[in-house]
Amino acid sequence: MLEGILIGLTTALSLTNILMVIGGCLIGTFIGMLPGLGPMSIIAIMIPVAISIGDPSTALILLAGVYYGAIFGGSTSSILLNAPGVAGTVATSFDGYPMARAGKAGKALTIAAIASFAGGTIGAILLMIFAPMLSNVALLFHSAEYFALMVVGLSAIAAFAGTGQVGKAILMTVLGLMMATVGEGALYNLPRFTFGLLDLQSGFSFITLAMAMFALPEALFLVMNPARSDPAGASGKITDLRITRAEARAIAPVIGRQSLQGFFIGVLPGAGATIASFLGYAVERNIAPKHEQAEFGHGSVKGLAAPEAANNAACTGSFVPLLTLGIPGSGTTAILLGALIALNVSPGPRLMIDSPEIFWAVIISMYIGNLVLLILNLPLIPYIAKILAIPRTFLIPFILFFTLMGAYIGQNNATELLILVGMGVAATVLRFADYPLAPLLIGFILGRMLEDNFARSMQLYDGISFVIERPMTMGLLVIALLLMVLPSLRARIAKARARGIADGD
Amino acid sequence: MALDRWIALIILGVSLIYGYTAWFTMDASLPPFMQRNPIWPSTFPKVLSVMATLAALVILLGFEKAPGRVKKPDMDYRRLGEYKVGQAIALLCLMVAYALLLRPAGFLISTFGFLIIGATLLGERRFHILIPVVALATGLIWYLVQEVLGIFLRPWPFFMG
């Protein structure tokens, strides 16, 4: 491990890469602060830039920096405006916004920054310990297990992303898988579902799809509902960034607990930062003493520190399945996976052996990124927050322009822009109908790999018999089935129970 | 019928067409030697088409009841009338126009036009700020993409080179 850390240090500490981390964090914070633009949109917009860099470690370092910056920026807008840019920072606004309303915005931002820093750093240490272990196990996997593992990942994502609407999430996942089959597949290089169109020969572009699924609907929502970008609370001056010793003592154990819990939730596919932050908030409220419990939701420092530590640790945790198994656990890591594949790197257990410098450089850059966020952003926050005052009439055309540019640069093809607009409209309608879009993109990205591994096992075993002959494959597929069936079963049982009990009124 | 079920109906149609292609037309072009393989290019799509059809039917027929506590949706299509749909549609048309004009009119003119018209559509009237900002941004982005990233973008209309 020490050798790996040294490799990582030499790669990450080159001048270019340090500048990339700093630049990425700043860009991420800037854009992440704008309400409605989450890390997924920002990373999608940044991908063409990262890909044209060419060096995979540098590109990944840049994107990881953007990711942290975006999450930090998201908490800033949650605290100052009560307008979380990301689902993962919704819980931050529960206590952060009341604190800002009470004139303690500076203090709230400091607590958020420290909690994020601790969560991210503890997460990076845990990642350093667990990722090599997991990737050793993963080396034993065959294509049959990979196939089964991806099915588990997809069904977990569907089960968690749906929040009571597993059917919709499954439908979106399958739709993503179907879109992945368009174009020339790995099998026999036969064009499939292209309708004879040359533009579809190589399939849908992943960048276009990512832009259309996340950036474009958000921008259209900002257009349709001006209240979403209303910077009403932004005018307040941010002063007094210091926290007292008593407050530091109060939040220290909270941060420790939530960093650990958040990390392990982040490792699970599909759970991610959102669940980690809500769960972290709920757990801390439940174990807090009675008099402190009443404070939650009205500006409690603990209630602010918990989700912040948890969501940052979870973001780091979500890198574990990405780097060791090559399976993304969240929409954001799915986009990162797509970027890596475009850079000719295939993440998976062989990543640590074949290109250790990428693996370790990313981990080291996580430390640097967290430090940058703490040192650079904290004093700059009062100035960065001025971006919230940019009028929407300037902001929205630029957001739309950057989505167009991203799709165009990736393919250098104007037809791609028409596909982008078409799919963006479809995605907006899907958002209106409350269909989750992250499963679609994850299904799309995993589709090719899923089919390749499935095909390889079919060829090795001359048929479907690998499911029965390999117990691990069987076990994983059973888990996948349980993940899909259990939520609806539990809902049914809960409903049946509710029917039996009279409402006490 | 609620919007989500209409969408499920559309997806059902798509997956039926997809399934028809996978089950009945795709294998026709398969060379004979490939037919001895345990897996065909159509195998995976066949599985997917069945799953998609089933999932779409579950939603369409309402087997999955909505969760008891209805969370307030972030954007509600039932209140579409209160939203500025016209502006959104106008911007979408502008994006299509940009896509069609980018090659013939060149990057600088089409981008300048896109940003100015877009901001004006959204109600910006302070042209003395807007025009310099947009001109500066357009030039800067062109420079970044062309010179720093090294991706060719034709700056001027086709007749000017």
- Residue-wise pLDDT tens digits, A411-431: 677 888 888 899 999 998 888
CA-to-CA distance for A355 and A348, rounded, in angstroms?
A: 11
Q: What pLDDT, on a 0 to 100 scale, did the predictor assign at position B69?
A: 46
Q: Residues A168, A171, A173, CA angle at the centre, nearest 5°?
A: 110
Query: Mean pLDDT of all residues in chain A?
Result: 79
Helix (H) or strand (E) segment spanning residue A310: helix A301-317
What separation in angstroms does the CA of B49 have from each of A386, B4, B20, B55?
50, 20, 9, 10
CA-to-CA distance for A407 and A43, rounded, in angstroms?
A: 13
Residues of A in contact with B6 (CB under 8 A): 433
Helix (H, G, I), strand (E, B) or coil at A89: helix
Which residues are CB-contacts of A225 (< 8 A; sequence separation ≥ 6)?
A: B75, B83, B84
**Between helices A331-342 and A438-461, what is the axis angle to 10°?**
60
Q: What is the DSSP string of A328-363?
A: -SSHHHHHHHHHHHHTT---STTHHHH-HHHHHHHH
Q: What pLDDT, on a 0 to 100 scale, did the predictor assign at position B29?
A: 75
Contact A368/A12 with Cβ under 8 angstroms? Answer: yes
Q: What are phi and psi of A191, to 5 degrees?
A: -70, 130
Tell me which residue of B146, B160, B145, B154 sits closest to B110, measured CA to CA: B154
Mutation target for A interface from B10, B40, B48: give the one with most A CBs within 10 A.
Answer: B48
Which residue of chain A is at minimal alpha-carbon distance from B53? A171
Hey, is the C-beta of B28 within 8 angstroms of any chain A C-beta?
no
What separation in angstroms does the CA of A80 have from each of A93, A364, A415?
9, 31, 40
Hey, is the C-beta of B149 within 8 angstroms of any chain A C-beta?
yes
Residue A505 has pLDDT above 50, yes or no: no
Look at A431 and B75 and tell me if their CB atoms are within 8 Å: yes
CA-to-CA distance for A229 and A215, rounded, in angstroms?
A: 15
Start-end of H helices in B21-144? 43-60, 85-105, 107-121, 127-143
Lowest mean pLDDT among A290-294, A467-471, B99-103: A290-294
Mean pLDDT for the stretch of residues B43-66: 85
What separation in angstroms does the CA of A149 have from each of A143, A179, A383?
10, 20, 46
Q: Which residues pair with A192 in a beta bridge?
A: A183
Contact A269/A72 with Cβ under 8 angstroms? Answer: no
Look at B100 and A463 and tell me if their CB atoms are within 8 Å: no
Look at A393 and B2 and tell me if their CB atoms are within 8 Å: no
Long-range CB contacts (within 8 A, 24+) of B127-135: B130/A394, B133/A394
CA-to-CA distance for A43 and A49, rounded, in angstroms?
A: 10
pLDDT in tens, A207-263: 788 778 877 887 888 788 776 655 444 445 566 667 778 888 888 888 998 898 888
The one-letter amino acid code at B111 reads T
Look at B41 and A400 and tell me if their CB atoms are within 8 Å: no
pLDDT in tens, A100-128: 777 777 888 888 888 888 888 898 889 88
The one-letter amino acid code at B45 reads P
| Nearest CB partner across the interface for A175, out of B52, B92, B103 | B52
Mean pLDDT for the stretch of residues B15-31: 85
Q: What is the DSSP string of A439-467?
A: HHHHHHHHHHHHHHHHHHHHHHHTSTTHH
Locus of tokens 């290019």: B41
Q: What are phi and psi of B152, to 5 degrees?
A: -70, 130
Q: What are phi and psi of A411, to 5 degrees?
A: -115, -20
Residues of B in contact with A215 (CB under 8 A): none
CA-to-CA distance for B72 and B79, rounded, in angstroms?
A: 12
Chain B 2-21, CB below 8 Å of chain A: which residues? 2-4, 6-8, 11, 15, 18, 21
Least Cα separation, residue B158 to chain A (angstroms) = 15
What separation in angstroms does the CA of B144 have from each of A193, A368, B56, B153?
37, 26, 45, 11
Residues of B in contact with A435 (CB under 8 A): 4, 7
Count of pairs with CB atoms under 8 A, one residue in A, one in B: 179
Residue A163 has pLDDT above 60, yes or no: no
Q: What are A432's two structure tokens? A: 């209106």
Q: What is the DSSP string of A383-410?
A: HHGGGGGS-HHHHHHHHHHHHHHHHHHH
CA-to-CA distance for A319 and A316, rounded, in angstroms?
A: 5
- Determine whether A269 is exposed, middle or buried from the number of CB atoms within 10 Å of its CB (0-12, 13-18, 19+): buried
Q: What pLDDT, on a 0 to 100 scale, did the predictor assign at position A456?
A: 85
Residues of A in contact with B11 (CB under 8 A): 171, 175
Measured in whole angstroms, the distance separating CA A30 from the mean position of its chain's CA atoms is 18
Locus of tokens 């050798």: A3
Residue B148 has pLDDT above 70, yes or no: no
Q: What are phi and psi of A184, to 5 degrees?
A: -75, 115
Contact A222/A230 with Cβ under 8 angstroms? Answer: no
| Nearest CB partner across the interface for A49, out of B64, B92, B149 | B149
pLDDT band with cut points at 50, 70 and 90 for residue A17: confident
What separation in angstroms does the CA of A458 have from each of A96, A152, A444, A445?
53, 18, 21, 21
Helix (H, G, I), strand (E, B) or coil at B10: helix
Hey, is the C-beta of B136 within 8 angstroms of any chain A C-beta?
no
Least Cα separation, residue A3 to chain B (angstroms) = 34
Residues of B in contact with A433 (CB under 8 A): 2-4, 6-7, 77
CA-to-CA distance for A333 and A313, rounded, in angstroms?
A: 14
Q: Residues, chain A, total?
A: 505
Mutation target for B interface from A47, A154, A412, A432: give the one with most B CBs within 10 A.
Answer: A432
Locus of tokens 């419990």: A293
Q: Residues A203, A207, A209, CA angle at the centre, nearest 5°?
A: 65
Domain parsing of chain B, residue ranges: 3-67, 85-160
Count other C-beta atoms under 10 Å from residue A78's C-beta: 31
Mean pLDDT for the stretch of residues A379-402: 76
What separation in angstroms does the CA of B135 have from each of A280, B62, B139, B140?
47, 53, 6, 9
pLDDT in tens, A352-387: 788 888 888 888 888 888 888 888 767 777 776 676
Helix (H, G, I), strand (E, B) or coil at A321: helix
pTM score, whole prediction: 0.76
Look at A491 and B150 and tell me if their CB atoms are within 8 Å: no
Residues of A in contact with B77 (CB under 8 A): 432-433
Largest CA distance in chain A: 69
Percent of chain A residues past pLDDT 90, beyond the cut? 2
Residues of B in contact with A166 (CB under 8 A): 64
Residue A345 has pLDDT above 90, yes or no: no
Contact A143/A460 with Cβ under 8 angstroms? Answer: yes
Q: What are phi and psi of B66, to 5 degrees?
A: -65, 150
CA-to-CA distance for A121 and A45, rounded, in angstroms?
A: 26
Q: If you average pLDDT over each of A91-100, A377-386, B122-131, which comes out highest?
A: B122-131
